Structure 1
Amino acid sequence: MVRFPADHMGFPLECGAVLTKLGIRLPAVLFCALLAGVSLGGIAQAEPPSPAPYPADVGDRDADAARPHGHDSPEELAGGLNQQTAKVNIDVRLRLEQDGALTVTERINTPEGTALSKQVPLRVATSDTEDRVYQVRDVTTEGAAEAGVADDALRISSSGGPATVRYTVLGAVANLAGHQEIRWRLASGWDQPVDAVTASVSTPNAPTSPNCLAGPVGSTTQCTRAVLEHTGGLVITQDGLAPGERMDLSVSQPAGTVPANAEFATVATLATAFALTVPSVVALIAVALVLLVGLVLVLRARRRDAAAWQGPAPQVDVLLSDGQRVVFASPDGVLPGQVGTVTDEHVDVVDVTATVIDLAVRNYLWIAETVGADGLADWQLSRRNAPDEQLHEYERAVYEALLPQGTEQVLLSELRARSNPVRLDTVRAALYSDVLRQGWLARDPQATSRRWLWLGGGIAALGVLGALALALTVGHALTGVAVLLLGLGVLLGANLLPARTARGSQLVRQMRGLLDYLHTARATDIPAADREMVFSRALPYAVVLGETSHWLTQLGEVNPSDNGVPGLYWFGGSEGEENLGRFSGHFPAFVAALDGVLAESGHVRSLRPAEESAPAPVAG
């Protein structure tokens, strides 16, 4: 059949004009029009019918069948447009499957020996706080090409010649208001110039609202050509891409066409990193519960411990009858050094000083006032009895610190003048161990404080570092803040939790009763023959509890000769005083001098009760 020119409407007019010149007017025009209609009908009958808009099978043959009538294939388009100049041609075919997966076939045609590669990011920013995440699977290659997924990117490379890469994309379908959007990056990040890109898109329903952008990332330049054909196909062509440029494609489908599979991930910023998330909320709740339980335990322990200091002091019997004599007995058999340590949970200078006086009272040491080589008053400590099994470890440590093996006597001025001060670290450790063994303290306060300090500080530091690391990576930074709060809670709880046990708190109550006795006792309440012994045995407790001045004042007129022996049995004066009035004027000076020597060790606290900061001597 003869084909008429493309302008079929012009043919009847031209034919009619010729016949009119020959004298045939209207019938000639009608005749020519009829002839043109017959020709058009023949052409229509000769062309094949259009294929179905969505082929039933996947493959190159089906894609060819789905190509709109009247258009060449993408390869033919690329070849026709760039037959003379094209060096690198890319053909991309997309097919949206019924399960929402997007199958992609990329044909790469490059001259032999020309290598090129690209990477398609699988995590694309959609806003300052959100990324869209794609997944690529089932990657296969043919020809001189390599492809794979690594570091959140699809990487494809070709070493020249024809090559084909096939893969499946998940995450391309998103539900929007009233429709579905299919989005994928057709071409992205080729490291060499691409002369021509062609693409075709096949979807279950005819694609609508195509939007194809080409050029640098972020640009809004439209692709060279994107045509929706009446048969339901979408054909795209792009006349070249510079290295690093991309082609972004989005088309629409009716709502519910396929299952949506788009995934979005929150970008960790300082604004979002500290937002409440499920992991951070769980961490905060867990830490809050731990801190709450710890707070309850601390408050209970503190309430029990505080009760020992509240209310009226209990009455304690410290004077016991021993046949015809009256003796002093401390509550629970506690020693002066133990009293101070349990009372304030620390080993202080006054605890050691009271222990030295107690050792003299118990006949292990002799204290004497003397005159030093410089003519000034001095104090001498002398051995009276060697340490034995009756002494506690801390008492033995005090004895040996002042009078080491082979030393019979020493002046306080000599102790102060030593190149090495008196070492009391052993005394401190032994005294803590002693009160722990007695059950008055639950732990060594100083060592425990250090351990809790390191533990709490370490947890807090871990929380800070964790919060920073999470804020800069995956978010959930409040989890690190929860750990920080736990560390701070440990530090605070360690300082607030008393070391005293229930037995220790009971001892504190008894010490309040002892203090009340020392503050109210009168010498006349004690038989004259027993006053010196009671005075001497109670004096170390008065020193450690801060009642030295009052105790010396009340018992200053005691005559130590009442027991038949002139002078105190454990203390000697330079003038040989025979009454406690003279002693009470000199004893505070001895206590102050001994405190100074012991404080120089640096291993115990230089702390004395407020009442003893400036004892008032009583003149004899």
Structure 2
Amino acid sequence: MAGIALGAAQPSFPSPPSDAPSLDFPVPSAGPAPSRGGVPTVNPVPPTGTDKPTHPPGVPQPPLPRSVNVQLKVERDGRLTVREQVIVQARQTMTRTAPLRIGDRVFTVRDPRVEGNGTAAVEGDSLVLRLGEGASTVDYTVDGTVEDLGDRLRFRWQIASGWDTVLVSVRASLLTPQRGSDFACLAGPAGTEDKCDSALTDGGAVLRVVQSNLDQGARVDLSADLPAGSVPATARFEAASAASAASAFALSPLNGVGLGAGFLLLLAGFAVLWRARARDGRALGGEVEPVALLDDRGGEVVFASPDGILPGQVGAVVDERVDARDLSATVVDLAVRNYLWVTEVDGDWQVVRRNPADDALTAYEKAVYTALLPEGVESVRLSRLRAEPPSIAPARDAVYRDAVSRGWFTRRPSAFGPLGIAGAVLLVLGVGGTVLFAVLGGPALIGVAVAIVGLAVLAGGRLLPLRTERGSVLLQQVRGVQGFLNTADPGSVPAAQREMVFSRALPYAVALDDVEQWLQRFGGLDPAADGTPGLYWYATQDPAAAGDQQRFGQQFRAFLDGLDEVFATA
């Protein structure tokens, strides 16, 4: 055998001693050589480290467990055909995960197949061999091993890499259409430049490589220069970022687990959303019985609303928003409860402070009270409020906060709420994780799954009804109150208490847009039946009109329209 000098750019191999043992690889001759699938058969005998072979010439050596014999042949069309003969120790397994991307160099493996006990497949950017005990033969074809350097071609392939065990012996032969030169063989962990134990050519220009005791995960990296034009160049290169991105979005097991978990979370979230909306739909559309606002206790009529709901909260529970009519209902309720006094003045109405806002009022009622009558203002005309509408934002916010604190709403309509915040955080993390994994080549589809879940949670948080289960029950009761307003019989109420019943229920009729029905039902009300002329919370400058319920109805509608205009403009 003759030693091969390496190029300046590659580590050189030392010249073999004159008495180096011969490797019993087949040498191509003029006659047909034993072959299998067009590749010369390998029957190596490992060196012993002495000056004499341990076996007589021609006598085959018993195969060594954890040994690999590799036959490489560069075909005239530039593809590389590979046959690996692997001996696995009894009751053991061996797995090879060979990278098909080295730096920006990309290799493609086609048609991997196994004769023996095992499987071979391309998984992502790796060739994966899983072999059981005994002898197995693996055949496959590689594209991308020949690079065009202008004045020459360069062949490169890792004949051993990614094995999960120490290899006792690695032997390889490389056959090329024309004689190669400047061979380089490196063995060890990726990035090291330790030379192989032996890399020699025989008389037939076949390169023989021998490496013993190759560490777990280490590689044997072989390269050789070929004459320009001897075979087509097949090397393919991809930028690191593009390569990482392609790998990151490949359907790997980890990416698959992430997508599957995300899909299950989406299904669970959809089920929760569907259940909540179905419950809310039943509360809005189901049949309900009238719910009385009155309780007869020993001949005395007592007013009571379901769950203590106030007129200004009724509209919010029904349509999940606070509008002008809800605030108007609150003003009427404050008058009915003796905090305000409403009186007609020269074709206008004047709202007068009757009692100060105390702790019996909720935060939103105090906000409405203060919006009409700020500190130091004792009265205000409706025409003045129309010209200079008060700020009602604090009152609206207070209604929503009160509904949340009472357990009727999960959140304020304008707020993200816990679900919205969680969805936004997941969306940001998912997008950021996707970008990071795409750059680093990690499982980017997990980031995509997290981002999709975050977007779904964010959207679901907006689609989820504001009403809680308690709020849905209250909605049904409010609809029952509306039924009571449409069916109540004034004749069943003692005459002296009808004014109180009419007045206390009137703000609820305002909130539920049932004013006409309620006014007509109590059209025969005698305000003087309680011993005082007129309604106790509403006055007129015409004493003759104080007991005219029909005239009151007309004036009250006009007053209510004016209040709605004030709050709508504000």
Indicate the residue corresponding to 1:425 in structure 2.
393
Indicate the residue corresponding to 1:415 in structure 2.
385
**Secondary structure at the residue paired with 1:484?**
helix
Judged with a 3 Å threshold, the aligned counterparts in structure 2 of structure 1 residues 512 and 178 are, in CA distance, closer, same or farther, namely closer
Residue 551, structure 1, aligned to residue 531, structure 2: no
Indicate the residue corresponding to 1:514 in structure 2.
481
Structural mapping, 1:218-617, within 5 Å: 229-230=202-203, 248-249=224-225, 268=243, 274-371=249-346, 377-418=347-388, 421-448=389-416, 452-453=419-420, 455-457=422-424, 459-460=426-427, 462-464=429-431, 466-467=433-434, 470-471=437-438, 474=441, 476-576=443-543, 577=545, 578-601=547-570
- d(CA) in 2 for partners of 1:413, 1:509: 38
- d(CA) in 2 for partners of 1:542, 1:338: 13
- d(CA) in 2 for partners of 1:395, 1:494: 29
Indicate the residue corresponding to 1:219 in structure 2.
none
- d(CA) in 2 for partners of 1:65, 1:266: 51
- d(CA) in 2 for partners of 1:524, 1:205: 109
- d(CA) in 2 for partners of 1:464, 1:408: 57
Contact 1:182–1:250 under 8 Å retained in 2: no
1:520 counterpart letter in structure 2: T
Judged with a 3 Å threshold, the aligned counterparts in structure 2 of structure 1 residues 387 and 209 are, in CA distance, closer, same or farther, namely same
Residue 62, structure 1, aligned to residue 32, structure 2: no
Judged with a 3 Å threshold, the aligned counterparts in structure 2 of structure 1 residues 389 and 99 are, in CA distance, closer, same or farther, namely same
Contact 2:412–2:466 under 8 Å retained in 1: yes
1:230 counterpart letter in structure 2: G
Residue 125, structure 1, aligned to residue 100, structure 2: no
Contact 2:106–2:144 under 8 Å retained in 1: no
Q: Which has the higher helix share?
A: 1
Deviation at 1:311, TM superposition (A): 3.1
Contact 2:364–2:399 under 8 Å retained in 1: yes
Contact 1:183–1:249 under 8 Å retained in 2: no
- d(CA) in 2 for partners of 1:426, 1:525: 41
Contact 1:184–1:250 under 8 Å retained in 2: no
Indicate the residue corresponding to 2:176 in structure 1.
209
Judged with a 3 Å threshold, the aligned counterparts in structure 2 of structure 1 residues 99 and 530 are, in CA distance, closer, same or farther, namely same
- d(CA) in 2 for partners of 1:305, 1:365: 36
**Secondary structure at the residue paired with 2:496?**
helix
1:539 counterpart letter in structure 2: L
**Secondary structure at the residue paired with 1:379?**
strand
Deviation at 1:489, TM superposition (A): 1.1
Judged with a 3 Å threshold, the aligned counterparts in structure 2 of structure 1 residues 65 and 347 are, in CA distance, closer, same or farther, namely farther
Unmatched segments (≥5 aa) in structure 2: 5-11, 23-45, 48-65, 71-100, 111-127, 129-135, 153-169, 182-199, 209-222, 228-239
- d(CA) in 1 for partners of 2:568, 2:172: 93
1:125 counterpart letter in structure 2: R
1:295 counterpart letter in structure 2: F
- d(CA) in 2 for partners of 1:517, 1:300: 29
Contact 1:67–1:233 under 8 Å retained in 2: no
Pairwise CA RMSD of aligned residues?
4.5
1:429 counterpart letter in structure 2: D
Judged with a 3 Å threshold, the aligned counterparts in structure 2 of structure 1 residues 285 and 209 are, in CA distance, closer, same or farther, namely same
**Secondary structure at the residue paired with 2:369?**
helix
2:252 counterpart letter in structure 1: T
- Listed one character per residue, the Cα deviations across residues 565-594 of structure 1 (whole Å, up to 9, x for unaligned) are 221111123434222211111212212211
Contact 1:314–1:513 under 8 Å retained in 2: yes
- Listed one character per residue, the Cα deviations across residues 130-178 of structure 1 (whole Å, up to 9, x for unaligned) are 9xxxxxxxxxxxxxxxxxxxxxxxxxxxxxxxxxxxxxxxx9xxx9975
Judged with a 3 Å threshold, the aligned counterparts in structure 2 of structure 1 residues 503 and 410 are, in CA distance, closer, same or farther, namely same
1:582 counterpart letter in structure 2: R
Judged with a 3 Å threshold, the aligned counterparts in structure 2 of structure 1 residues 277 and 497 are, in CA distance, closer, same or farther, namely same
- d(CA) in 2 for partners of 1:181, 1:519: 85
Percent identity, aligned pairs only?
41
Contact 2:291–2:483 under 8 Å retained in 1: no
Deviation at 1:462, TM superposition (A): 4.9
Unmatched segments (≥5 aa) in structure 1: 1-49, 69-95, 103-120, 131-170, 195-202, 215-226, 236-246, 252-264, 372-376, 602-620
Indicate the residue corresponding to 1:608 in structure 2.
none
- Listed one character per residue, the Cα deviations across residues 18-43 of structure 1 (whole Å, up to 9, x for unaligned) are xxxxxxxxxxxxxxxxxxxxxxxxxx
TM-score (norm 2): 0.60
Deviation at 1:205, TM superposition (A): 6.4
Deviation at 1:490, TM superposition (A): 0.8
Deviation at 1:184, TM superposition (A): 8.2
Contact 1:283–1:479 under 8 Å retained in 2: yes
Q: Give the number of aligned pairs.
A: 406
Deviation at 1:560, TM superposition (A): 1.3
Deviation at 1:511, TM superposition (A): 1.1
Deviation at 1:406, TM superposition (A): 1.2
In our comparison, the structure showing a higher alpha carbon Rg is 1
TM-score (norm 1): 0.56
Judged with a 3 Å threshold, the aligned counterparts in structure 2 of structure 1 residues 64 and 318 are, in CA distance, closer, same or farther, namely same
Contact 2:324–2:567 under 8 Å retained in 1: yes
1:527 counterpart letter in structure 2: P
Judged with a 3 Å threshold, the aligned counterparts in structure 2 of structure 1 residues 590 and 205 are, in CA distance, closer, same or farther, namely closer
Contact 1:185–1:248 under 8 Å retained in 2: no
Contact 1:66–1:233 under 8 Å retained in 2: no
- Listed one character per residue, the Cα deviations across residues 521-579 of structure 1 (whole Å, up to 9, x for unaligned) are 24334333222211100000001111111111222232212222221111123434222
- d(CA) in 2 for partners of 1:408, 1:592: 23
1:382 counterpart letter in structure 2: V
Contact 1:397–1:426 under 8 Å retained in 2: yes
- d(CA) in 2 for partners of 1:389, 1:564: 30
